Structure 1
Amino acid sequence: MLRLIIFFLYMGGYLVYSLPALNRMRKLNAVLPVEERDRIIHNVPQKWSRTIMKISGSQVKVKGQELIPGGPVVIVCNHEGDFDIPVLLASIDKPFGFISKVEVKKAPIISSWMEVMNCVFVDRSNRSKAINSLKDAAVLLRQGHSLLIFPEGTRSKGGQVAPFKVGGFRLAQDAGVPIVPISIKGTADVFEKNGRLIKPAKIEIQVCKPVNSKIVQNMDAKFLAQEVREIICSSLTGKKIAS
């Protein structure tokens, strides 16, 4: 219970404290190269996320980060729990925005930071709006930004990885960018499996070999989704992935 109280106190306090930084990020010179601008913006949520993980008392191990290519990518990750985003923000050096459900847009300050980070809000209850949001996401990728997707569409809470929805894979195809599969294991042990209390856990992040943009564009989207899911599932079970 104490960790949960500290978590909410820190989260609320830091968000208010970050408002001046948020205003500075909004005014960043648009002439800056995309990669440099994204890295400056990424610095604040990364610091916040690293402190959040320290509060949780969790140990995080990351492998394969050197495999992430330069330039824009679509990061594809399985979705265990609510701590996936802070763990990935804290651990992955490459700046990224992410695809989020539109309901998060109601959260004050957090949603503003997400907009600055080039996150995309998708209304899953409205197909036409969802399609338009994915088109906006493709534009961001073409501009040089990277995005992260959780193609299961919901948390597994440490259970079996659900089938992947194909929308995010079509996004990568439209933008002509590589896909970076990442497996994450242990985040559900921090929160979801503890009666929604925060407890320390051992978390493992494995960056898998990217799928290059040519393969992404030439492969059927449904088959591509299945192949990337298999890569992630194999990583989670410790099976070697054929190169």
Structure 2
Amino acid sequence: MLRTIWWFIYFFGYLIYSLPTIKKVNKLDPSMPVEKRDIIIHEKPKTWAKNLVNITGSEIKVIGEEKIPKGPVLFVSNHQGNFDVPILIGFLKKPVGFISKVEVQKIPFVSKWMVAMNCVFIDRRDRRKAIQSIREGVSRLKEGHSLVIFPEGTRSKGNSMGEFKKGGLRLATESKVPVVPVTISGSYKIMERSKVSFKAARVTVTINDPIYLPKDEKVDGTELGKLVQAKIQEHL
């Protein structure tokens, strides 16, 4: 229980401490190369996210990170638990933003950092707004930023995977950036098994071979989704 209390103190305490940094990163020279800019912006979020995971006592093993291409990519991951986001932010070397549900904007201080990290908020209840968010995500990718999507749309809370929602893969088919399937195994054991505390777990993040889309051909998003889901399933 003490570990859980410390986790929440650190969660909000570090965010408050880092608020002045947001003002600094928002004033970065816009002519700076995107890759360099993202590294600077993500420095504190990476520290915050990694420590949040470490406080739980969990061990994170990343396999295949050398497979990630340079430049912008779309990471497509299964979604086992609430810790998937801090795990990917903290333990992947490549800076990433997320396609996130709009409700996350209500969490104090978090939304400010997410905006700085080029995350995109999506309201699934409003089809028109959802389409606008997908277009915004495509623009982020074309600008050179990498993004993560969880096509299941919600946590599986176990090793099974839910059905992939079709809309998310439009980020790849319209931007034509490489798609990198990611398998997260074991993250649900940290929080989803307990209602009141965190449990230490061994989590494996497997980076699958990237999928390169043809630049001058139309790509079937449904077929792409099936391919990506099969690759993710192989390591569960």
Normalising by structure 2, what TM-score?
0.97
**Structure 1 residue matching 2:193: 3-state secondary structure:** helix
Gaps of at least 5 residues in structure 2 are: none
Q: Is the 8 A contact 2:159 2:185 kept in 1?
A: no
Aligned to 1:239: none
Question: In angstroms, what is the RMSD of aligned CA positions?
Answer: 1.3
Aligned to 1:225: 225
Q: Cα distance, 1:219 vs. partner?
A: 3.3
CA deviations on 1:51-98 (whole Å, 9 max, x unpaired) are 111101001111000000011110000000000011111110111100
Q: Cα distance, 1:215 vs. partner?
A: 8.2
Q: Is the 8 A contact 2:213 2:219 kept in 1?
A: no
Q: Cα distance, 1:196 vs. partner?
A: 4.0
Partners of 2:67 and 2:207 lie apart in 1 by 7
Aligned to 2:198: 198
Letter in 1 for 2:135: K
% identical equivalent positions: 46
CA deviations on 1:198-236 (whole Å, 9 max, x unpaired) are 110000000000001228964311111011000000121
Matching of residue 210 in structure 1 with residue 176 in structure 2: no
CA deviations on 1:151-171 (whole Å, 9 max, x unpaired) are 000000014101111212111
> Aligned residues, how many?
236
Q: Cα distance, 1:195 vs. partner?
A: 2.4
Which is further off, 7-16 or 159-168?
159-168
- Superposed, which structure 2 residues align to 1:123-202 within 5 Å? 123-202=123-202
Partners of 1:106 and 1:193 lie apart in 2 by 25
Q: Cα distance, 1:3 vs. partner?
A: 1.5
Distance 1:5 1:92, change over 3 A: same
Aligned to 2:12: 12
Which is further off, 182-191 or 164-173?
164-173
Aligned to 1:116: 116
Aligned to 1:93: 93
Aligned to 1:49: 49
Which is further off, 210-219 or 113-122?
210-219
Partners of 1:109 and 1:179 lie apart in 2 by 30
